[in-house]
Amino acid sequence: MQDTDMLPREEAVQLIDQDGAVVADDHYALPDTASLLRAYRGLVEGRRINDQASALVRQGRLAVYPSSHGQEACQIGVALALAETDWLFPTYRDSVAVIARGVSAADALVLLKGDWHSGYDVKTHRVAPQATPLATQLLHAVGFAYAAKQRGEDTVVVALCGDGATSEGDFHEAMNFAAVFHVPVVFFVQNNGFAISVPLSRQTAAPSLAHKAIGYGMPGQRVDGNDVAAVLAVLGEAVERARTGGGPALIEAHTYRMQAHTNADDDTRYRERAEVQAWVARDPLTRLRAHLTASGVLDEALDAEYAAGAETIAQAMRDALNADAELDPEDLFRFVTAARSPQLEEQWQLLRGEIDRTPAETSGGAR
Amino acid sequence: MQDTDMLPREEAVQLIDQDGAVVADDHYALPDTASLLRAYRGLVEGRRINDQASALVRQGRLAVYPSSHGQEACQIGVALALAETDWLFPTYRDSVAVIARGVSAADALVLLKGDWHSGYDVKTHRVAPQATPLATQLLHAVGFAYAAKQRGEDTVVVALCGDGATSEGDFHEAMNFAAVFHVPVVFFVQNNGFAISVPLSRQTAAPSLAHKAIGYGMPGQRVDGNDVAAVLAVLGEAVERARTGGGPALIEAHTYRMQAHTNADDDTRYRERAEVQAWVARDPLTRLRAHLTASGVLDEALDAEYAAGAETIAQAMRDALNADAELDPEDLFRFVTAARSPQLEEQWQLLRGEIDRTPAETSGGAR
Amino acid sequence: MTIAEHDVRTEASTPAVATMSMAAALNLALADAIQADPEVVVFGEDVGALGGVFRITDGLTARFGEDRCFDTPLAESGIVGTAVGMAMNGMRPVVELQFDAFALPAFEQVVSHVAKLGNRTRGGVRMPLVIRIPFGGGIGGVEHHCDSSEAYYAHTPGLTVVSPSTPQDAYSLLRAAIASPDPVIFLEPKKLYWAKGEVDTSVTAEIGTARVAREGTDVTLLAYGSSVPLALEVAEVAAAEGRSVQVVDVRSLSPFDDETVTAAVRSTGRAVVIAEAPGYVSVASEIQARVFERCFEYLEAPVRRVTGFDTPYAPPKLEHWYLPDVDRVLDAIDSLHWEDEK
Amino acid sequence: MTIAEHDVRTEASTPAVATMSMAAALNLALADAIQADPEVVVFGEDVGALGGVFRITDGLTARFGEDRCFDTPLAESGIVGTAVGMAMNGMRPVVELQFDAFALPAFEQVVSHVAKLGNRTRGGVRMPLVIRIPFGGGIGGVEHHCDSSEAYYAHTPGLTVVSPSTPQDAYSLLRAAIASPDPVIFLEPKKLYWAKGEVDTSVTAEIGTARVAREGTDVTLLAYGSSVPLALEVAEVAAAEGRSVQVVDVRSLSPFDDETVTAAVRSTGRAVVIAEAPGYVSVASEIQARVFERCFEYLEAPVRRVTGFDTPYAPPKLEHWYLPDVDRVLDAIDSLHWEDEK
Ligand SMILES: Cc1ncc(C[n+]2csc(CCOP(=O)(O)OP(=O)(O)O)c2C)c(N)n1
Ligand SMILES: Cc1ncc(C[n+]2csc(CCOP(=O)(O)OP(=O)(O)O)c2C)c(N)n1
Ligand SMILES: [Mg+2]
Ligand SMILES: [Mg+2]
């Protein structure tokens, strides 16, 4: 590889434009119709999951929800680009990707509901717990991939983070370790223009985030993050290269967070409505719907079928989150270490005594 | 600036080759004779300081000395590239640069002698304390430059670090803050091929360390770090650009640490003697001597004069370090905070009582 | 809700008394400090246009400009490390780190430089910087948003560590912290951000002093931050049961006001320390140990502590079992050998 | 001096008894662990060809190959963060961080992930990793090379923290740490690296247990790491003066062996805690507090502590004034109200 081959293109890769028209590309092929249809279905479901979760926040059933509304092409693209035996290292914003990977919505939302810090079995789904401390999970992904490579497994690990997280030291250390040890990791940055309120111009003065790749000795690429076809193509290539011993890569997806950072945020304080409005036209769902409709593979009946499928997921979310989980306070002490220390046992006995003395009607809820 | 203008050259900039011959360059001009002579004198002194300090370690007068033997062109180049009102942020290995900046050798070596953690007045010399925790000082340099810029001063800050330190998260955060806030800082990396025992190939897979610059949106350049003329030219340009509002830059100097990491290190464990030997021919001193002699500006008399000057510095080092400083144990409590807390006063009284009860003959030394 | 909506903003030049939330008091202290000293700069993540995730810096950028209050790239070591450099060059940075857990990436800078640079340079360089951290739990936050990390800072020589429990102390201690020549870790109990109280901007606070928050004769509760209102609530309940409870707001975790605390505990002969953080190797253990040592001859019973458990902070739905509460403190008080009383 | 020169290397399969330095015992434990379990990997800065700056990993790469012992880029958060990922994927990483102060860049990874991942996943993912840190002072090191940071780790729920004071414990505790399903912070007292003792590789150590290092009846010294030999020296001197001093090597800083410690202090009625770290909010204050609380009725005098001062670690030439020494401990013992003795 020539040095400058590691630099990303001047323009983000786009295969379907915002009106649904195919963009010719001399390197990346448009995914086949079956893949696009599968992706479309994923987008429909992802959008529904986002909107349902936001509604559950308003109803007080979720403590908080960082929505990926507008970023669904990244979320679904990532889930579809991975083989079953691959691993995903997501963040708090990547619930849709986590669910698309097979985790039930109820389990994926345990953290945000407040029942526990993570709610799914990471090994069954090959999805690491959603990380809150920014960029820290990128290193875990590298270590995980290192172990897989040592064992001769062909697992690829995709690590997600946002534009803001690229400023953290751990981003740098993860990129560097990945390149030095040549491990099968793809770093997929969803550049949605903001880190809470802070715009990209305050995160970097670089031509693009993907330009960081050459500084580690890995290829960097930019992709239209609202074009799931392009995401699938670019990510797919990087995943395959990693799988066949080609080492890590950095992909920057240009997208936009259509809603506030979380429900607790007020984005009118830091961005113009006109800017948000401008991104409506670039919506990942509508452009793929236009493309598939024009191609004749999607009709109203099929679209309705997908919508119904999404509604089933939404219904399951409502059911799961409207039910109060039975929580056991002893759980506080169960998992701190493999064996409970005498100190922790003593503390549990203290709490247990208190619980025993608490009138039954209040013992399950807040005191 | 075009994006790719931020990439360094394929080959490090060299203006005088290892035999003393001038290398034509279409961008960088050879510094004038007076500057080269001044640099040569600096190299002679720098080499003498390194060797004297190493001798003082063997004599037990210094606890430890990380020598820059072989790296003197970087050390002297940095000191000469700065205006008096500029600031230097050095590491443990940069004692020669610190001394070349005007700090007395005795003061510069207080840390390594073990009398205190730093021995010079940073404000008088505009030299930050030599930093031990790697890459941390790069951020201080950025903050310092930020404050200078805010005040409208034309101070430039040069921050030093090694190849190993570029792997630290703080390197990344410093580069990024510098670029985003467009502050007058030049990062000067002395790539001497090793971080203690770890070779460059274990630090990075990048085409060069200077290739990291574009990922922050600042220019990167590579220079032959054993060619003081090239160091002066490349660093001089970056310093002037920073001074005139052009923002930060990253310069990677290719050099070699001719001795072990410190006297406590055993470099035979991790590198071949042949490799070390190969670098003798690239010595920064001999090539400049050859060049200046050939140009007729340096003769034996002048060389002897410089050697005598260097010997004076060495003598001052011996005098200073052979004298035992009067140390006051109360100093332990004097500078922790501006005002001494009651707790610290209580602890000092405890120690003071012990000292008062210690037989006079042992109270100054080790118990 | 924005602080501007509270309408409490006051010009620094006019000392004033008003009722306001702790958040508003902190905002006012920052504004007054910016106005009083041209070297004061406020920065961090989201402190500009957004006004901070807790709105403590609300309106500062609009009022004083980007030069005085601004957003940085998302990197905590970067924030603290650049603050160190600015302080070396004469500024007085006041940085916000978003939550306790997100201050951890800056830990090396804090321990190896912020705490030590003054000592390293024999006072040649001072570090007049303030690191503000919204701290503690009790707000139903998810993992990493409710930790209490005062022990890490209080253990580190060279750092001053304070935590207010009232709007008045929030204002006065923050002004004192910004004016201090030394680095101050300023811990803001999130749970109390919206609790209101009177603030007199002419009142100054002295770092290093505790405050007797309630007089009492039977037992002394030693607390700080969000545990102070808890202690006061306990005192009310205990009073109804006929026990006179003294409450001391420790306030300054380092340096520590031994004089006030020792006198208080000697006067009652019994003490309970309350803190949210896990108790093991904590500020609570330190207070317990030093009170034991200094009041040994005066104690009717062992000093007890009521703290968070030695577990990671609980998820929101289990938080109420994790945090010290009135009953747990009352139980601790009950255990203080009252049977020996005549 | 290399460990190979000590010629103490033993095949893991053959239990053996030999006299060796603590450094050699640690090296042997690593070699035996690598041999015993294919998932054990050792990495860090300079641990490969160089064998570590203290030569603890001497010869491991040569003997077992780069796959089992290797150098990483120079980035501590990177080292710990990748170790977390490896542990998630079934490996048992044993990482070396070069000095206490250089472990600080990894603090966020340690606190937010290493300590919490097992809890976060309800035990679904365990973190069987060991972080080795050459720790403490007394070796004339310059700034940042002599700190004692056990308080930071011991305060953090989820971490196991141990420190050996003998070659035997160095061997046995390191093997136990590597075998543990939980993350262990393994603190190696630099000052004791070259002190020799007998090592029996068949002896196992149980994390969480203290060890009575010397019997005595008048007063109990509670110590760990390099303070243990100091305590034993004090006991010798005191014995000559007619005082019988018991010494307990706490060894496991978290979890803590209350049973052994409480029984010991109750048996003598007097106690002094010794540690090098600054005393404020420290492991020493924790021990002092819990001994006070648990032995209150048995104490003849307040429990004292002798620790490092609450200042940055001293420069080499002033180190001898900074560190706890025999006289300072004897003074503390003398203050334990002996006048009340009949
Ligand atoms: C180390 C750390 N610092 C701060 C935070 C608080 N925080 C949570 S999300 C966020 C913004 C992240 O922005 P970005 O990486 O762009 O991701 P996005 O939220 O846009 O998906 C911040 C500052 C955190 N979680 N971790
Ligand atoms: C944060 C941190 N980690 C580890 C060390 C220990 N250490 C001191 S020098 C060194 C190697 C540095 O290599 P490099 O940056 O290339 O500088 P050089 O010594 O070659 O000049 C290491 C690992 C340190 N000082 N700081
Ligand atoms: Mg973002
Ligand atoms: Mg180097």
Alpha-carbon distances, residue A303 vs A38, A309, C297, D212 (angstroms): 12, 10, 81, 75
Nearest CA to ligand 1 atom 4: C102
In 10 A of CB D320, how many CB atoms? 16
Residue of B nearest to D307 (CA): B347
Hey, are the CB atoms on C143 and A264 less than 8 Å from each other? no
Q: What pLDDT was estimated at residue C334?
A: 97
Options C6, C145, C155, C320, the catalytic residue:
C145
- Whether the predicted pLDDT of B91 surpasses 50: yes
Q: What pLDDT was estimated at residue D3?
A: 41
A182 touches chain B (CB under 8 A): yes
Q: How confident is the model at residue D7 (pLDDT cuts 50, 70, 90)?
A: very low
Q: What pLDDT was estimated at residue D6?
A: 39
Instruction: Transcribe C41-93 into DSSP letters.
Output: EEEESS-STT--TT-TTTTHHHHH-TTTEEE--S-HHHHHHHHHHHHHTT-EE
pLDDT digits (tens, 9 = 90+) for C104-121: 999 999 999 999 999 999
Q: Which of B217-221, B323-327, C183-187, C304-308 has the lowest mean pLDDT?
A: B323-327
A270 flagged as catalytic: yes
Instruction: Choose among A133, A167, A195: nearest Cβ to C144.
Output: A133
**Could you say which DSSP state residue C205 is in?**
-
pLDDT digits (tens, 9 = 90+) for D19-61: 999 999 999 999 999 999 999 999 999 999 999 999 999 999 9
Interface probe, candidates A116, A122, A337, A344, chain D, greatest D C-beta count within 10 A: A337
Instruction: Show the tokens assigned to B348.
Output: 């000092």
Report the alpha-carbon distance of residue A44 to residue A285 in Å, rounded. 7
Q: What pLDDT was estimated at residue A156?
A: 98
- Whether the predicted pLDDT of C31 surpasses 70: yes
- Whether the predicted pLDDT of B82 surpasses 80: yes
Domain boundaries for CATH 3.40.50.920 within chain D: 211-336
Report the separation in Å between the CA atom of A285 and the middle of ligand 3, taken as the mean of its atom positions: 20
Q: What pLDDT was estimated at residue A324?
A: 86
- Whether the predicted pLDDT of B367 surpasses 70: no
Percent of chain C with pLDDT over 70: 95
Report the alpha-carbon distance of residue B206 to residue D195 in Å, rounded. 44
> Do you know the residue count of chain B?
367
Which secondary-structure segment (H or E) carries D184? strand D184-189
Q: What pLDDT was estimated at residue D9?
A: 39
Report the alpha-carbon distance of residue D186 to residue D184 in Å, rounded. 6
Report the alpha-carbon distance of residue D153 to residue D156 in Å, rounded. 5
Report the alpha-carbon distance of residue B99 to residue B109 in Å, rounded. 9
pLDDT digits (tens, 9 = 90+) for D277-307: 999 999 999 999 999 999 999 999 999 999 9
Q: What are phi and psi of A341, to 5 degrees?
A: -75, 160
b/e sequence B48-67, b meaning 16+ C-beta within 10 Å: bbbebbbebbeeebbbbbbb
Q: How confident is the model at residue C2 (pLDDT cuts 50, 70, 90)?
A: very low
Q: Where are the alpha helices (DSSP H) in chain D?
A: 3-6, 22-36, 60-64, 76-88, 100-103, 107-108, 117-120, 150-154, 167-179, 227-240, 258-268, 283-295, 319-322, 326-334
In 10 A of CB C17, how many CB atoms? 12
CATH assignment of C211-336, given 3.40.50.200, 3.30.420.10, 3.40.50.920, 3.40.1410.10? 3.40.50.920
**Could you say which DSSP state residue A194 is in?**
E
b/e sequence B321-334, b meaning 16+ C-beta within 10 Å: beeeeebebebbbe
A86 CB near ligand 1 (under 6 Å) = no
Report the alpha-carbon distance of residue C99 to residue B79 in Å, rounded. 41
Residue of A nearest to C62 (CA): A269
Q: Mean per-residue pLDDT for C46-63?
A: 98
Q: How far does CA B169 lie from the centroid of its chain?
A: 21
pLDDT digits (tens, 9 = 90+) for C88-108: 999 999 999 999 999 999 999
Q: Mean per-residue pLDDT for B238-256?
A: 98
Alpha-carbon distances, residue D310 vs C112, C187, D127, D307 (angstroms): 15, 21, 33, 9
Report the alpha-carbon distance of residue D146 to residue D276 in Å, rounded. 10
Domain boundaries for CATH 3.40.50.970 within chain C: 15-200
pLDDT digits (tens, 9 = 90+) for A24-56: 999 999 999 999 999 999 999 999 999 999 999
Report the alpha-carbon distance of residue D249 to residue D222 in Å, rounded. 6
Report the separation in Å between the CA atom of B162 and the middle of ligand 2, taken as the mean of its atom positions: 8
Report the separation in Å between the CA atom of C109 and the middle of ligand 2, taken as the mean of its atom positions: 16
Q: Characterize the bridge pairing of strands D69-71 and D17-21.
A: unpaired
Residue type, A45: E
Q: How confident is the model at residue D340 (pLDDT cuts 50, 70, 90)?
A: low
Instruction: Show the tokens assigned to A360.
Output: 């039954």
Q: How confident is the model at residue C5 (pLDDT cuts 50, 70, 90)?
A: very low
- Whether the predicted pLDDT of D14 surpasses 80: no
Give contacts of C102 with chain A, Cβ < 8 Å: 133-134
Q: What are phi and psi of B220, to 5 degrees?
A: -120, 145
Q: What pLDDT was estimated at residue A125?
A: 96
- Whether the predicted pLDDT of D110 surpasses 50: yes
CA dihedral D287, D293, D295, D299 (to 10 degrees): 90
Of A197, A192, A209, residue with least CA distance to A257? A192
B129 touches chain D (CB under 8 A): no
- Whether the predicted pLDDT of B361 surpasses 60: no
Q: Characterize the bridge pairing of strands D160-162 and D252-254.
A: antiparallel
Global ipTM: 0.97
* Best residue among A134, A171, A262, A265 to mutate for probing ligand 1, ranked by most atoms within 8 Å of CB: A134
CATH fold of the domain at C15-200: Rossmann fold (3.40.50)
Q: What are phi and psi of B339, to 5 degrees?
A: -110, 140
Q: What pLDDT was estimated at residue A147?
A: 98
Hey, are the CB atoms on A146 and D82 less than 8 Å from each other? yes
- Considering only residues B1 and C287, tell me which one the structure prediction assigns the higher pLDDT: C287
Q: What are the DSSP E strand ranges found in chain C?
A: 17-21, 40-44, 69-71, 92-96, 130-135, 160-162, 184-189, 196-200, 211-214, 219-223, 245-249, 252-254, 271-278, 304-308
B165 CB near ligand 2 (under 6 Å) = yes
The CA-to-CA distance between both ends of chain B, in Å, stands at: 63
pTM over 0.95: yes
CA dihedral A188, A193, A195, A196 (to 10 degrees): -130
Q: What pLDDT was estimated at residue A362?
A: 52
What value does the mean pLDDT of chain B take? 96
- Whether the predicted pLDDT of B230 surpasses 50: yes
Hey, are the CB atoms on D71 and B198 less than 8 Å from each other? yes
Q: Cα angle vertex C48, ends C43, C54, to 5°?
A: 90
Report the separation in Å between the CA atom of B57 and the middle of ligand 4, taken as the mean of its atom positions: 21
Instruction: Show the tokens assigned to C160.
Output: 């001053």
- Whether the predicted pLDDT of A207 surpasses 70: yes
Q: Mean per-residue pLDDT for A302-329?
A: 95
Q: How far does CA B254 lie from the centroid of its chain?
A: 14
Report the alpha-carbon distance of residue A340 to residue A350 in Å, rounded. 15
Q: Cα angle vertex C76, ends C9, B196, to 5°?
A: 155
Hey, are the CB atoms on D312 and C116 less than 8 Å from each other? yes
Of A36, A162, A144, A15, residue with least CA distance to A92? A162
Options A9, A182, A211, A270, the catalytic residue:
A270
Q: What pLDDT was estimated at residue C341?
A: 64
Q: How confident is the model at residue D205 (pLDDT cuts 50, 70, 90)?
A: very high
Q: How confident is the model at residue B363 (pLDDT cuts 50, 70, 90)?
A: very low
Alpha-carbon distances, residue B333 vs B118, B347, D310, D325 (angstroms): 16, 9, 9, 19
Residues in a beta bridge with D220: D246, D271
The CA-to-CA distance between both ends of chain A, in Å, stands at: 64
pLDDT digits (tens, 9 = 90+) for B6-34: 999 999 999 999 999 999 999 999 999 99
- Residues A168 and C105: beta-carbon distance below 8 Å: yes
Q: What pLDDT was estimated at residue D8?
A: 39
Q: What are phi and psi of A256, to 5 degrees?
A: -150, 140
Nearest CA to ligand 1 atom 17: A162
| Closest chain A C-alpha to C89 CA, distance in angstroms | 23
| B201, HSE (Cβ side, Cα atoms, 13 Å) | 0
What value does the mean pLDDT of chain A take? 96
Instruction: Show the tokens assigned to A333.
Output: 């002490």
Residue of A nearest to B200 (CA): A180
What value does the mean pLDDT of chain C take? 95
Q: Where are the alpha helices (DSSP H) in chain A?
A: 33-58, 72-81, 95-100, 105-108, 110-113, 122-125, 136-150, 169-180, 228-243, 273-280, 284-294, 300-322, 331-334, 342-357, 360-363
Instruction: Show the tokens assigned to C153.
Output: 């800072």
Report the alpha-carbon distance of residue D51 to residue D57 in Å, rounded. 5
Q: What pLDDT was estimated at residue D10?
A: 40
Q: What pLDDT was estimated at residue B325?
A: 85
Report the alpha-carbon distance of residue B35 to residue C313 in Å, rounded. 62
Residues 6 or more apart whose Cβ sits within 8 Å of residue B292: B20, B33, B36, B37, B40, B298
